[in-house]
Amino acid sequence: MLQQKIQSLEEQEHLPSLLSADAQELAHQLQEHQKKIFSPTAQKTMRLFTPAEAAAFIGIGEGYLRQIASEGHGPQPLSNGRRMYAVEDIDRIRRVLDEGAKTGKYIPHRRPGEKLQVISVMNFKGGSGKTTTSAHLSQYLALRGYRVLAIDLDPQASLSALFGHQPELDVGEAETLYGAIRYENPRPVADIVRSTYTTNLHLIPGNLELMEFEHETPKAMIGGSAETLFFARIGETLSEIEGFYDIVVIDCPPQLGFLTMSALCAATSVLITVHPQMLDVMSMSQFLSMTSDLMTVVEKAGGRTSYDWMRYLVTRFEPNDGPQSQMTGFMRAIFGNRMLHNAMVKSTAISDAGVTKQTLYEVERSQFIRGTYDRAMESLSLVNAEIEEMIRKVWGRK
């Protein structure tokens, strides 16, 4: 009998050892896979844009763009006579237009009296399209000419990977936002910000190090060693560099911890993504209740709890799915104008682009069925333009 018990114990699997071994092997294989897809010296780049796309980003007609290009301010035509525009070309044309008009109409940077916009994108449940939304919104705003800082606050660091920074390879110790908000020896946040391959877009990457903030905050609260309370640390850190940016987009962790609460207190606006299925909506109900309770506690301690706007964004929406349409209608009846008018549709174009760690703004249209790509891009443009309009409204712009 004793021998059988010993044998049974020996046959049991030690979970910490198994998880550690599996994590190491998976990380190794992912790195090898990454090297096959992208060489170690490869760098991500933005694709070229058509005249119609370039004109839309600048905010002018395509005919006017052709006129400006013919005057020597655009790229040289290709062998077929057509011009394709790099992000740098688009940015240069904006400057040319504003120099001529002297109105600041085409370079949409913040003006005196306009405050930095900090948008926290959040949801308690994974798979809601939170990171996809953050990535495309950040890039869209940068392509529109705003100076954008994207912050990856999710320890899983998918946003960093999308923007070409592998968390396990390219992000070292204290190179995430944790390095600037930690309780001992914080780094200047300017030392952590990285440029990206997209003009006007900078990044503070993430990795598992961010979890240290969740572990250290209770100790700092008990010991009374923190000069700045946890919920104010991100906001104070951003104040060091706010003069360099117009908009900050924070991709929050998919849980309601100290990082998320600090991001909420730093935010001027909140975007909550939700997948329109019953289990996801039920989960969001619990999430909203918990968030409300915690924000009430933070408010009593002096944290900011009022925002310029808060909106729900339906993501991964399938218009031909009856239950999803019913659930979306159900939420619109409850939340009213707190729902964005437009939804982010579920698209194989977006998911396929994600396989190679690209956004839809980076992949070539020719890689997809034309209708599939166009529907996805139209959905993205409508959602992002709606958010841009709310930002401009806060600034008092038409």
Alpha carbon 32 to chain centroid distance? Answer: 26
DSSP string, 19-87: HHHHHHHHHHHHHHHHHHHS-TT----PPPB-HHHHHHHHTS-HHHHHHHIIIIISPPP-TTS---B-H
**In sequence order, what are the residues at sequence separation of 6 or more whose Cβ sits closer than 8 angstroms to the Cβ of residue 22?**
none
DSSP string, 281-310: HHHHHHHHHHHHHHHHHHHHTT-----SEE
Rounded to 10°, the helix 258-266/211-223 angle is: 90
> What secondary structure letter does DSSP report for 317?
B
Whole-model pTM: value is 0.87
CB 143 within 8 A of CB 361: yes
How far is the C-alpha of 398 from the C-alpha of 387, rounded, in Å? 14
Angle (nearest 5°) at CA 188 between 272 and 191: 85
Percent of the chain with pLDDT over 70: 88
Per-residue confidence (pLDDT) for residue 229, from 0 to 100 = 80
Backbone angles phi, psi at 305, to 5 degrees: -135, 10
Q: Of 109, 129, 91, nearest to 380 (Cα)? A: 129
319-359: pLDDT as tens digits: 888 888 888 888 889 888 888 999 888 877 787 777 778 88
**In sequence order, what are the residues at sequence separation of 6 or more whose Cβ sits closer than 8 angstroms to the Cβ of residue 221?**
230
Per-residue confidence at 154, pLDDT binned at 50, 70, 90?
very high
Residues forming a β-bridge with 287:
none
CB 101 within 8 A of CB 95: no
Side chain identity at residue 56, one-letter code: A
CB 360 within 8 A of CB 350: yes
96-140: pLDDT as tens digits: 998 866 567 889 999 999 999 999 998 876 667 889 999 999 999
Percent of the chain with pLDDT over 90: 42
Which tokens hold the place of 196?
């990206």
CB 192 within 8 A of CB 204: yes
pLDDT score of 178 more than 90 = yes
CB 294 within 8 A of CB 257: no
Mean pLDDT of the chain: 85
Q: How many CA atoms lie within 13 A of 327 on its CB side?
A: 23
How far is the C-alpha of 252 from the C-alpha of 315, rounded, in Å? 16
Which tokens hold the place of 13?
């699997």
Q: Of 79, 80, 59, 83, nearest to 71 (Cα)? A: 83
Per-residue confidence (pLDDT) for residue 330, from 0 to 100 = 85
Side chain identity at residue 149, one-letter code: L
Q: Which domains does the chain have, with CATH numbers?
A: 51-100 (no CATH), 117-395 (3.40.50.300)
Beta strands at 194-195 and 201-204: parallel, antiparallel or unpaired: antiparallel
CB 271 within 8 A of CB 391: no
180-217: pLDDT as tens digits: 999 989 999 999 999 999 999 999 999 999 999 999 88
More confident residue, 229 or 8: 229
